[in-house]
Amino acid sequence: MSAPQGLVILGSTGSIGQSTLDVVARHPDRYTVVALAAASRWEILRDQCRQYRPRFAVIMDLSSAAQLRKALAAEAIRTEVLVGPAALASIVAEPEVHIVMAAIVGSAGLLPTLAAARAGKRVLLANKEALVMSGQLLLDAVAAGGAELLPIDSEHNAIFQCLPPHVPGVAPSGVRRIVLTASGGPFLRASEQQLRAVTPAAACAHPKWAMGPKISVDSATLMNKGLECIEAQLLFGVSPEAIEVLIHPQSIVHSLVEYLDGSMLAQLGNPDMRTPIAHALAWPQRIESGVESLNLARLGALEFESPDLAKFPCLALAIAAGRRGGTAPAILNAANEVAVAEFLGGRLNFSAIPRVIETVLERCAAATVTGLEDILEIDRVARVLALNLIQGGISL
């Protein structure tokens, strides 16, 4: 038996991070936790340190770091507490680290994900925003560092499983199209009037998946699927025209690949993120994930339908940004993150989210990406513009 592989979980207190630890706990002979990172939820991080005894715990908030240090010291837990974004880039490059779960939500995950790629680690990409923002820059970092990039989103992991071995960003031969499935979120059958009255609590009540608030809102607007379209064209090297979205309320078929000969391969499973996590952790081997087996006889029918782009304009905006390329996806992502945060804070109507994004895309000139600085600058500009639009009460 070989030595356990060292693991870092960026975003350990979120749903993906906790699911990863659940899988890891089933295989203590295969994996050891080197570091855990969170934004501010120090109590959950303390409990995780108590169970897994990582070498490092990284937290973004200074006051939370002080409380975590005090709590760990009281229990004689020798985990070193680090603070801030620079610490994230440092821990992923540690020599004993083999696998990095990139599960920090939003743009905050970009720099540590790039650092893990440059350090040649196996990067389990749950943070779609990092790839949407950086595009080819992340793929180039993977190639230059000799890293492995394995998708964790259930849809992209399903596509990965249905494709032959390939290089990230290079289209496998024989593929005609990729079909991304979407549950449709909690408002699939809602009227326009009902959408205008949506509350944050209702938007976060996903019918199939347990997710954090930001991703839940993205699922409700179908922006999540739009970001996944951009991610798919980058990961798998296909054109935007070769990607189709289908609404599949049961969330059993996680995505499909159609080949030139007419064959369609699909990956099926219960809606549980431990399946793609276990697949990516052990790839190319298979390990137990703790997920219940799928009972097709009990399930019965599977339903599919085309998305309503007029009702869910965020999906159309994302598809258009992916086709435009350059810095357009970064502008889209920045405006969306600001709009979602303002909605969750009760300062923006749900139906205004796509109008904010569309206005920012119209007013921010997309350009060719020449380096990371271009991405970071347009991200800053788009955020300021989105916030000014919302706070200024401009009619959108």
pLDDT digits (tens, 9 = 90+) for 88-113: 999 999 999 999 999 988 778 899 99
For the cut 80, the answer to whether the pLDDT of residue 395 exceeds it is no
pLDDT at 1: 57
Q: What's this model's pTM, rounded to 2 decimal places?
A: 0.93
Across 268-278, average pLDDT: 96
The span from the CA of 245 to the CA of 228, in Å, is 10
Contact 220, 209 (CB under 8 A): no
Domains and their CATH numbers in the chain = 5-151 (3.40.50.720), 325-391 (1.10.1740.10)
- The C-alpha torsion from 389 through 393 and 394 to 396, rounded to 10°, is 80
Question: CA–CA distance from 301 to each of 56, 145, 192, 252, 298 (Å)?
Answer: 47, 45, 28, 11, 9
What does the DSSP 8-state code read for residue 240?
A: G
- Which of 57, 45, 44 is CA-nearest to residue 8? 57
Predicted confidence at residue 5, as pLDDT, reads 97
In tens, the pLDDT along 190-201 reads 988 898 889 999
Residue 235 phi/psi, 5° resolution? -65, -40
The maximal CA–CA distance of the chain, rounded, in angstroms, is: 64
What does DSSP say about strands 264-268 and 31-38: parallel, antiparallel, or unpaired?
A: unpaired
3-state SS track over 136-191: HHHHHHHHHHCCEEEECCHHHHHHHHHCCCCCCCCCCCCEEEEEEEECCCCCCCCC
